[in-house]
Amino acid sequence: MKKPVIVVLTGAGISAESGLRTFRDTDGLWEGFDVEDVATPRAWLSNQPMVQEFYNQRRRDVAAATPNLAHKLLAALEKDFRVRIVTQNIDDLHERAGSTNVLHLHGQIFKMRSDKQPHDDKFAQEIREDIPPGLKAEDGGLMRPHIVWFEEMVPTIMEAQTIMQTADIFILVGTSLVVYPAAGLVDFVPRDAPKYIIDKVIPEVGHYEHIIPIAKPATAGMTELSELLLKKN
């Protein structure tokens, strides 16, 4: 008998308990910066050193962070379920917690690529240290963070839509469902699949069926849900 498929969509809320902040928590500011100044192609063109240093600091923050209980509980579900995670987060905390099937919608902080290349993992290189300002790529471009910025296309969105369609059980953890196209992914989850929503503030999910809200932070919510799923299974 095949294990049920759990599809998980995670956002900033799951990493917040590991100490990683995002613009969502600060009225449009990300660590004191307006997102338009550090997270758009326009920002890169107008002030590359500032953008580079901003992401260098994010890389340091992620390197210093550790997976929290919510990350670990999702990884542990792989013992009893086929778990597929789609994350909006650029950190690697899911992987470090032990999850083996993770799709990053918005890129990965520990990768870089030439700004002449499209957002494709095959063009990306691992980077654990700072990216020096003005670092040249072999094609003559400048090395930039392998991040999908605002105003850029999300290249993995169709793959994510396909993953959503495979869900026997859907879990949403720590996302406000306000950033598109990621917010529209719930539309692709099978209508009859139970949909567990974990967040301190439950987002608007009015037209979806079989919603089970868990109005708690990620770690507390995943503790409750993990026990429930294992009992049901």
**Residues carrying an active site annotation:** 106
For residues 139 and 151, what is the distance between their CA atoms, to the nearest angstrom? 24
Which residues 6+ apart lie within 8 Å of 112 measured at CB? Answer: 124, 125, 127, 131, 143, 144, 145, 146
Question: 43 and 17 in contact (C-beta within 8 Å)?
Answer: no
Cβ-based burial of 180 (10 A; exposed 0-12, middle 13-18, buried ≥19)? exposed
Which string of b and e fits 24-46 if b means at least 16 CB within 10 Å?
Answer: beeeeebeebeeebbbbeebbee
Is the dihedral angle over the CA atoms 87, 90, 96, 97 positive or is it negative?
negative
For residues 112 and 50, what is the distance between their CA atoms, to the nearest angstrom? 16
